[in-house]
Amino acid sequence: MPRKEIVGKVVSNKMDKTVVVSVEQRVPHGRLEKQILRTRKFKAHDAENKCQIGDRVRIQECRPLSAEKRWLVIEITGKEASAFVSEDV
């Protein structure tokens, strides 16, 4: 059976070898049928600490790696365009 893969955005990389990935999903409201944006956060294993805040990543389900970590970063699909500010004095 293939493992689940989802795409999300890195919202935190403060932990060692772990990132928090936010995944947005549009679902219809039960009664009003209006589209609602649902957000879930997953902790994912980032072995090389490459992910930065704002990066789009693809994560895959894996065996439990810790108490809350059950996902693995497969690839970084998009880098955040970091704004470089130079201070000319």
The reply to whether 71 falls in a domain is: yes
Domain that holds residue 23: 5-78
d(CA 62, CA 3): 7
pLDDT band at 85; cut points 50, 70, 90? low
For residue range 19-68, what is the model confidence (pLDDT) as tens digits?
999 999 999 999 999 999 999 999 999 999 999 999 999 999 999 999 99
The reply to whether 84 falls in a domain is: no
Question: What CATH number is given to the structural domain containing 54?
Answer: 2.40.50.140
Q: Provide the pLDDT for residue 21.
A: 98
Q: Provide the pLDDT for residue 81.
A: 67
Contact (Cβ atoms closer than 8 angstroms) between residue 13 and residue 49? yes
CA–CA distances in Å: residue 86 to residues 7, 23, 38, 52, 89: 33, 33, 38, 21, 9
d(CA 54, CA 67): 25
Contact (Cβ atoms closer than 8 angstroms) between residue 7 and residue 56? yes
The reply to whether 89 falls in a domain is: no
Question: What SS3 state is found at 59?
Answer: strand
Instruction: Give the pTM.
Output: 0.83
The reply to whether 57 falls in a domain is: yes
Q: Provide the pLDDT for residue 40.
A: 98
